[in-house]
């Protein structure tokens, strides 16, 4: 079976690829629909009404470190193992994750699996909107779940905390690339979470995640992704720390970096929800210093 050039079961697969593999016994599909607090949408309710056949619902907020006051921080290994086993997702499975916005929250789950050392996971390019637009099969019943053993090996180099980010930004050891929209980055638009300062991490570059997508919501091809990073002032020969509002869309940047073969990246899990909360951390305001595409 030939696969389209863009299909890579470790990063991104097309709806055609998923349709061909839908009945594979070792395929597991996850619906990771999640929305910003001001979006007025409920990912779980949408899943219960309509999802790709066989999909399990991955609750980003529940599948998090509940000991933290920050939103949906990466879960401890034990919690990830427990939840995945209960969902029937384990060793030897090829996982495909999608969301109801097209390309928004699913990459966060891709990153979470990568953090746990699980490589056989891909994001569905275009997500549920593209699947529905093509008239493909859906259902409203949850699948029958059977416990499956899963092992993890946490990859700590893929995540950064506030101390590491502050250090790297101050010393110029890595480029912080912010996936938020230009107005939020510049401090000209309010944050969706109350109580946060406006602006960005000093020295950060701005690459709104939408600039990595085509008009139909699918991800740009590899030359297009490289061009977007370079237009934002990112030196692809140097390390990158991705950031955003709360660590969700930062994963879209991480996925794109992985797609273009840039392996020296990590994700700032707390992102602006953490940095913008602490008064003793410096904040920069004003538009990005590089012309956007």
DSSP string, 90-141: -TT-EEEEE-TTSSSSHHHHHHHHHHTT---EEEETTHHHHHHHTT---BSS
Per-residue pLDDT reduced to its tens digit, 54-100 = 999 999 999 999 899 888 999 999 999 999 999 999 999 999 999 99
For β-strands 175-178 and 205-206, DSSP reports them as: parallel
Is 244 catalytic? The answer is: yes
Task: Give the pLDDT score at 165.
Answer: 97
pTM for the structure as a whole: 0.94
Looking at the structure of the chain, the number of domains it has is 2
Task: Give the pLDDT score at 15.
Answer: 98
Check whether residue 180 and residue 148 sit in a common domain: no
Choosing from 244, 253, 255, 257, the catalytic residue is 244
Task: Give the pLDDT score at 270.
Answer: 95
Residue 282 lies in a domain: no
Check whether residue 30 and residue 126 sit in a common domain: yes
Tell me the C-alpha distance between 19 and 13, whole Å.
Answer: 10
Task: Give the pLDDT score at 2.
Answer: 40
Residue 39 lies in a domain: yes
Residue 222's domain comprises 157-275
Residue 44 lies in a domain: yes
Task: Give the pLDDT score at 112.
Answer: 98
* CA diameter of the chain: 56
Q: Are 179 and 205 in contact (CB under 8 A)?
A: no
Task: Give the pLDDT score at 222.
Answer: 96
Task: Give the pLDDT score at 36.
Answer: 84
User: Which residues of the chain have a pLDDT value below 50?
Assistant: 1-4, 291-293
Domain boundary among 121, 154, 187: 154
Check whether residue 17 and residue 84 sit in a common domain: yes
């Amino acid at each position: 079976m030939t696969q389209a050039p863009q299909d890579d079961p470790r990063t991104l697969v097309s709806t055609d690829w998923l349709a061909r593999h839908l009945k594979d016994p070792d395929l597991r599909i996850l619906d990771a629909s999640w929305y910003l607090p001001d979006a007025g949408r409920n990912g779980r309710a949408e899943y219960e009404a309509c999802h790709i056949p066989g999909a399990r619902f991955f609750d980003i907020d529940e599948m998090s470190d509940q000991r933290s006051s920050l939103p949906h921080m990466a879960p401890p290994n034990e919690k990830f193992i427990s939840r995945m086993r209960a969902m029937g997702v384990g060793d030897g499975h090829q996982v495909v994750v999608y969301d109801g916005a097209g390309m928004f929250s699913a990459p966060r789950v891709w990153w979470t699996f990568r953090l746990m050392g699980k490589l056989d996971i891909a994001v569905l390019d275009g997500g549920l909107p593209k699947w529905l637009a093509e008239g493909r099969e859906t259902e409203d019943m949850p699948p029958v779940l059977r416990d499956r053993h899963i092992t993890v090996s946490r990859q700590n180099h893929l995540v950064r905390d506030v101390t590491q980010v502050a250090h790297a930004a101050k010393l110029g050891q890595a480029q912080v690339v912010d996936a938020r929209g230009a107005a939020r980055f510049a401090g000209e638009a309010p944050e969706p979470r109350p109580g946060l300062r406006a602006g960005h991490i000093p020295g950060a570059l701005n690459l709104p995640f939408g600039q990595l997508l085509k008009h139909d919501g699918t991800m740009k091809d590899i030359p297009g992704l490289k061009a977007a990073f370079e237009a934002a002032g990112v030196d692809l020969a140097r390390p990158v720390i991705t950031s955003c509002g709360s660590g969700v869309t930062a994963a879209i940047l991480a996925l794109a970096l992985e797609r273009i073969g840039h392996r020296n990246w990590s994700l700032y899990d707390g992102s602006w929800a953490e940095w913008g909360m602490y008064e003793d951390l410096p904040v920069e305001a004003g538009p990005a210093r590089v012309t956007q595409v």
